[in-house]
Structure formats: C-alpha cells, structure tokens
C-alpha cells in the first residue's frame, strides 16, 4: 500500500512538473506573439503619427504664410490710412494757425508794425 501511495505521489509530481513545464512554454510562446504584435502596432502607429506630423506641419506652414500675407496687407493699409489722416490733421492745424494769426493781427495793431 505504501508503494502504491508513493507511486501515485510520483505520478502526480511528474504530471504536475510536466504541466508547469508545458505551461511555461505556452507562456513563452504567447509572450513572443504578443511582443511581435505590439512591435507591429508600434511601427504602424509611428508611421501614422509621422504622417500626421508632416500633414499638420504643412497645414500650419500654409496658414502661417496666409496670415503673414494678410497681416502685411493690413499693415500697409493702416499705414496709408494713418499717413492720410496725419496729412489732413497737418492741413487743418496749419489752417487754424493762419486763422489765429489773422485774428490776432486784427486785435493787436502793434503786432502789424513789427
């Protein structure tokens, strides 16, 4: 009876050891499979992100050129308008200055004598 018990324990131990060995090899195979799939996804995602980066960079550069052109045009337009307003103000100030001089000449006769 003791021999049968030890034989059963030996068979159970061998089966258990074999199961662990088989399980370990299955885990190694799954690890290799998952690693290769993750590496494939990494390459795919890297390629897609690089493509999006190039696309977004091109779009931002295009918008930058458009905005720079529009800002330059607005700058030129505003500069012209400010220059025109400056000229109008200079003319009005000169006109008012001459009117003040005329008014002062009318009220101060001694000023005319100088």
Q: What is the pLDDT of residue 114?
A: 53
H/E segment holding residue 44 = helix 2-107
Give me the domain span that covers residue 52.
2-102
Could you give the maximum distance between any two Cα atoms of the chain, in Å?
Answer: 152
Q: CA 42 to CA 104: how far, in whole Å?
A: 88
Q: What is the pLDDT of residue 111?
A: 55
Tell whether 59 is covered by a domain: yes
Q: What is the pLDDT of residue 14?
A: 83
Tell whether 51 is covered by a domain: yes
Tell whether 23 is covered by a domain: yes
Domain total for the chain? Answer: 1
Half-sphere exposure of 55 (CA within 13 A, CB side): 6
Tell whether 110 is covered by a domain: no
Tell whether 68 is covered by a domain: yes
Residues in the chain where the model's pLDDT stays below 70: 109-114
Tell whether 38 is covered by a domain: yes
Tell whether 114 is covered by a domain: no
Q: How many residues does the chain have?
A: 114
Q: What is the pLDDT of residue 43?
A: 93
Q: What is the pLDDT of residue 108?
A: 78
Q: What is the pLDDT of residue 39?
A: 92
Distances (CA, A) of 102 to 75, 90, 109, 114: 40, 18, 11, 15
Tell whether 61 is covered by a domain: yes
Tokens of 86: 């400056």
């Amino acid at each position: 009876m003791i021999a049968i018990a030890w034989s059963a324990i030996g068979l159970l131990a061998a089966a258990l050891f074999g199961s662990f060995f088989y399980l370990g090899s299955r885990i190694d195979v799954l690890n290799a499979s998952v690693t290769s799939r993750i590496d494939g996804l990494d390459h795919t995602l890297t390629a897609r992100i690089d493509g999006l980066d190039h696309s977004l960079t091109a779009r931002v550069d295009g918008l930058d050129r458009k905005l720079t052109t529009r800002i330059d045009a607005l700058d030129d337009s505003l500069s012209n308008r400010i220059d025109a307003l400056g000229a109008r103000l200079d003319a009005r100030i000169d006109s008012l200055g001459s009117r003040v001089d005329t008014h002062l000449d009318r009220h101060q006769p001694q000023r005319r004598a100088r």
